[in-house]
Amino acid sequence: MVAKKNLCVLILAAGKGTRMKSSLPKPLHPVCGVPMIAHSLRAAQALGPGAICVVVGHEAAAVMGSVTENVEKWGITAPVLFAEQKELNGSGGAVRAASEAISRFEQVLVLNGDVPLILPETLENMLTLAADKKAGALVLSMQVANPTGYGRIVRGKEDNFDCIVEEADADAATRRITEVNGGMYVFNSQDLTAALAKLTPQGPKHEFYLTDTLSFIKQAGKPVAVYALPDETEALGVNSRAELAQAEILMQRRINTKLMADGVRLIRPEDTYIEAGVQIGADTTIFPGTYIQGNTTIGANCLIEGGVMIRNCQIADNVIIRMGSYCDDSVVATTCEVGPYARLRPGAELKTKAKVGNFSEVKKSVIGEGSKVNHLTYIGDTDMGAGVNIGAGTITCNYDGQKKHRTVIGDHCFVGSNTNFVAPVEIKPYSKIGAGSTITKDVAENALAIARSRQVVLENKGIKND
Q: Which residues are catalytic?
A: 375
* DSSP codes, 185-207: EEEEHHHHHHHHTT---BTTTTB
> Could you tell me which of 80, 56, 186, 209 has the C-alpha nearest to residue 134?
186
- Give first-to-last CA distance, the chain, whole Å: 92
> Could you tell me which of 225, 154, 153, 157 has the C-alpha nearest to residue 188?
225
Residue 68: half-sphere exposure toward Cβ, Cα within 13 Å: 9
Q: Which residues of 435-456 are buried (b: 16+ CB within 10 A; e: fewer)?
A: ebbebeeebeeeeebebeeeee
CA–CA distance, 322 with 338 (Å, rounded to integer): 6
Handedness of CA 102, 108, 112, 117 (dihedral sign): negative
CB-CB neighbours of 57 under 10 Å: 22
> Could you tell me which of 92, 182, 135, 127 has the C-alpha nearest to residue 7?
127
Q: Helices 189-196 and 211-219 sit at what angle, rounded to 10 degrees?
A: 110
